Chain A
Amino acid sequence: MFDFLTSGQYDVLGAFWVTVQLTLYSAAGSLIWGLMLAGMRVSPVPLMRSFGTAYVNIVRNTPLTLLILGCSLGLDQTLGITLAGGDSKEIGFRLAILGLVAYTGTFVCEALRSGINTVPVGQAEAARALGLSFFQVLTLIVLPQAFRAVIAPLTNVLIALTKNTTVAATIGVAEAALLMKEMLENEADALFAVFGVFALGFVLLTLPTGLLLGQVAKRVAVKR
């Protein structure tokens, strides 16, 4: 029943490795982009605030599929912006990451912003009374507390991101969902076995992440 695993015809582990790589690169990128967006949304400069708000609202309401497809069809094939060289495989991989970062960044931003809102105003007032500058208040007082409050929501974003990497299959990135589609077409008699293998793969990817970071979130939470 599971002979499709041992036949050597399909590289299941390889496909999941691509999924993991997509997740890690996109997670790093989304964290940076989300931090920048959050910075804009809480900044004292009205223009930056409105840019941040507009970006988050627009991108969050657009299907991820459309964003990634837009990166591939629009940026790459129509405008010829290839994101450095390499063969079509590497370009597709990078375009998928670009789409994932653009999308996930908005959720990271919203999580961080809600974290900043959990910090009592009095803390910052006290900091300002001591003569700290905006930058010092942000980096020394507010962000350290905000980060600890948002580990749980950020974990949720990370888990969602892991699952969202499957959307890269729409532009032909050879990750788990694409391989599953191919295998289901070829091994129709082993339908449930194939699905079971890939489902298990995702459970193994997301479950430990949630448990581990859940523990971390509990441990570092600021008790108020």
Chain B
Amino acid sequence: MSSVLYDAPGPKAKVRNWIYTAVFAVLVGLALWWILDRMAEKNQLDADKWLPFVTDSQIWTTFLLPGLVETLKAGLIAMVIALPLGALLGIGRLSDHAWVRVPVSTVVEFFRAIPVLMLMIFSSALYVLLGTVSSDLRPLYAVVTGLVLYNASVIAEIVRAGILSLPRGQTDAAKAIGMRKGQMMVYVLVPQAVTAMLPALVSQLVVILKDTALGGAVLGFADLMSMNRQISANYSNTIATMVVIALIYIAVNFALTGLASFLERRLRQSKKGTGAVVEGDVAEVDAGGAAGVGKAP
């Protein structure tokens, strides 16, 4: 065992561990029992609250699946727009020219400091004022705009960290063979940075998908989140609905997280490339707004 904190257990430690296990199991059991008892008291455990999710296919075809589609749609559109925008901003922050670097940095820091919910509410109000977006599309537009503004700046930080994570020798070599700054970026740094960033970008998708739920709760966006109101209005099973919706989110995000860490492992092991990896977790600090990327000062 190579843990910092404890050795491989001896006979005494094994007994102690068993005692801890038993005590902990009892505590968790008690907490669970209390919750289930409480739920039973309020009839939340009755079969008719939970069975519809198995027996009634309509609950899936009318509510859950269309909601999931809207969620994924908003997430993917936001990602597709935010990605190139973020890449441009990230490269802009690394520019040699102060007149590019300073404004770009300001924009990035500004949108990173503002909660994504506020960006969504603002863009919704803006679209109302402009009157160019039909009212049934407005929630989707507002959600996507909010997500793009926020995530483009987060992605900019990921891109910057990705480029900075490359070994210095790459820049030196490019300069040595006479490349200009632009060529160096396009042919040497960015292609390598993209692979290094892949895990972080996939993790960012998780953040985006979680954030779409804000649109469902606040702006009337017909996503997976907003379905809890509709389903529990029809079947009066608030808790069961919430649990099922949570499970769907968890399943989708778990798959994405798994993909991110798979990519990370692959990149670290691969003999090709520089072995530089921007970890998925660095940007994945939050839902209503992530925090900065690890290494970037």
Contacting A203 at CB < 8 Å: which of B7, B110, B216?
A: B110
**Digit string of A29-59 for contact with B (CB within 8 Å is 1, else 0)?**
0000000000000111111100100000110
**Minimum CB distance partner of B38 in chain A:** A79
Query: A202, B213: Cβ atoms under 8 Å?
Result: no
Given the known interface contacts A70-B242, A121-B4, the answer about A163 and B253 at a Cβ–Cβ threshold of 8 Å is no
Least CB distance, B268 to chain A, in whole angstroms: 16
A169 CA / B120 CA spacing, docked (Å):
13
Query: B118, A166: Cβ atoms under 8 Å?
Result: yes
CB neighbours (8 Å) of B216 from chain A are: 65
At the interface, yes or no: B246 with Cβ under 8 Å from chain A? yes
Query: A160, B285: Cβ atoms under 8 Å?
Result: yes
Least CB distance, B40 to chain A, in whole angstroms: 10
For chains A and B in complex, what number of residue pairs have CB atoms within 8 angstroms? Answer: 194
A80 CA / B206 CA spacing, docked (Å):
32
A119 CA / B213 CA spacing, docked (Å):
38
The interface size bin for chain B is 35 or more
Query: B291, A157: Cβ atoms under 8 Å?
Result: yes
Query: A63, B211: Cβ atoms under 8 Å?
Result: yes
Query: A159, B129: Cβ atoms under 8 Å?
Result: no
A160 CA / B121 CA spacing, docked (Å):
18
At the interface, yes or no: A220 with Cβ under 8 Å from chain B? no
Contacting B122 at CB < 8 Å: which of A74, A124, A161, A195?
A: A195
Interface residues of A in 127-184 (CB under 8 A from B): 128, 134, 137-138, 142, 153, 155-157, 159-161, 163-164, 166-167, 169-170, 176-177, 180-181, 184
At the interface, yes or no: A107 with Cβ under 8 Å from chain B? yes
Query: B292, A156: Cβ atoms under 8 Å?
Result: yes
Given the known interface contacts A44-B6, A163-B288, the answer about A70 and B246 at a Cβ–Cβ threshold of 8 Å is yes
Given the known interface contacts A44-B17, A65-B217, the answer about A74 and B238 at a Cβ–Cβ threshold of 8 Å is yes
Determine chain B's interface SS by DSSP, over half rule.
Answer: helix
At the interface, yes or no: A78 with Cβ under 8 Å from chain B? yes
Interface residues of A in 81-123 (CB under 8 A from B): 81, 103, 107, 110, 116-117, 119-121, 123
A137 CA / B281 CA spacing, docked (Å):
28
Query: A199, B239: Cβ atoms under 8 Å?
Result: no
Query: B129, A191: Cβ atoms under 8 Å?
Result: yes
Query: B118, A142: Cβ atoms under 8 Å?
Result: no
At the interface, yes or no: A216 with Cβ under 8 Å from chain B? no
CB neighbours (8 Å) of A65 from chain B are: 210, 213-214, 216-217, 225, 287-288
A43 CA / B242 CA spacing, docked (Å):
32
Query: B242, A202: Cβ atoms under 8 Å?
Result: no
Contacting B288 at CB < 8 Å: which of A74, A78, A164?
A: A164
Contacting B110 at CB < 8 Å: which of A163, A184, A199?
A: A199
Least CB distance, B239 to chain A, in whole angstroms: 5
A73 CA / B39 CA spacing, docked (Å):
13
B115, B121, B238: which has the most chain A beta carbons within 10 Å? B115
Interface stretch of the complex, out of B19-27, B86-94, B176-184: B19-27
Query: A206, B4: Cβ atoms under 8 Å?
Result: no
Query: A156, B291: Cβ atoms under 8 Å?
Result: yes
A11 CA / B292 CA spacing, docked (Å):
31
Query: B5, A63: Cβ atoms under 8 Å?
Result: no
**Digit string of A4-32 for contact with B (CB within 8 Å is 1, else 0)?**
00000000000000000000000000000
A sample of 5 inter-chain contacts (CB < 8 A) reads A58-B250, A73-B238, A79-B42, A163-B115, A199-B110
- A residues sitting closer than 8 Å to B (CB atoms) are 42-48, 51, 57-58, 61-66, 69-70, 73-74, 77-81, 103, 107, 110, 116-117, 119-121, 123-124, 128, 134, 137-138, 142, 153, 155-157, 159-161, 163-164, 166-167, 169-170, 176-177, 180-181, 184-185, 188, 191, 195, 198-199, 202-203, 206-207, 210
**Top-9 shortest CB links A-B:** A156-B291, A163-B289, A160-B286, A63-B213, A61-B253, A163-B115, A184-B125, A65-B213, A164-B288
Identify 11 new A-B residue pairs, CB closer than 8 A, beyond the known A62-B249, A79-B38, A184-B125: A46-B17, A65-B213, A81-B38, A107-B286, A124-B4, A164-B289, A181-B121, A184-B122, A202-B118, A203-B113, A206-B113
- B residues sitting closer than 8 Å to A (CB atoms) are 2-7, 9, 13, 17, 20-21, 24-25, 28, 38-39, 42, 44, 110, 113-118, 121-122, 125-126, 128-129, 206, 209-214, 216-218, 225, 228, 232, 238-239, 242, 245-246, 249-250, 253-254, 257, 281, 285-292, 294
